[in-house]
Structure 1
Amino acid sequence: MDKKTQEFYERLKTELDEANVWPAEYLFKFIVPTDKQKIDTVENAFNGMGAVIHTTQSKTGKFTSVSVNVRMESSQSIIDKYIEVSTVEGIISL
């Protein structure tokens, strides 16, 4: 992980800890190229967690937004999920 990415996650962790009492609900939002395998990879990252997942395809059909509402145990567990799904080619985390 490069220094800029590391600093981003450190800042995010601080902000999450200041704004939440753990465990807490968290809404992940991703934009993924419309490809069943890529969407499935994101959804599968939250399997067994009781997540509510909602997908919406863009007007052109090239991209799909994936919203995941799930109870997370800590700010670090959120960062770990972002890192886990960052391997999906073309994903954008919002």
Structure 2
Amino acid sequence: MPQKNDAEFYANLENKLAKTSNWPSAYLYKFIVPTSDAKIEKLVEIFDNLGAVIKTKKSSKGKFTSVSIHLKMKNPQDVISKYKEVGEKIEGVISL
């Protein structure tokens, strides 16, 4: 996620989500993390007990792992709060 103005970025994202989906709605999160069992486990923990379908795939050289998380979210604010939680708890994560 952009570093310059997170508040503006999240406000724009919330607006787009509100306009493009009927809530509650299925949402697909995509993250790239440095390949580390601890970081991947932490990411899985954040979405644990939410009924998420989580898929991981290592990069060709194994340095990074992409993590796709598909689940039903109540509203755009909940989507954004999960992005923020991931950013705060996992160093080096890239949100797509």
CA apart distance, 1:23: 0.4
Partner residue in 2 for 1:12: 13
Q: In structure 1, the residue corresponding to 2:16 is in which secondary structure? A: helix
Name the Cα RMSD after superposition. Answer: 1.1
Structure 1 segment 4-83 matched on structure 2, within 5 A: 4-83=5-84
In 2: Cα distance, 1:41 partner to 1:10 partner: 26
The 3 A distance-change label for structure 1 pair 59 and 4 is same
CA apart distance, 1:3: 6.5
**TM-score under structure 2 length normalisation:** 0.94
Aligned-residue identity in percent: 47
CA apart distance, 1:24: 0.2
Partner residue in 1 for 2:94: 92
In 1: Cα distance, 2:4 partner to 2:86 partner: 19
Structure 1 stretches (4+) deviating beyond 3 angstroms?
A: none
In 1: Cα distance, 2:6 partner to 2:46 partner: 21
Equivalent position amino acid for 1:83 in 2: K
Equivalent position amino acid for 2:48 in 1: N
List alignment gaps of at least 5 residues for structure 2. none
**TM-score under structure 1 length normalisation:** 0.96
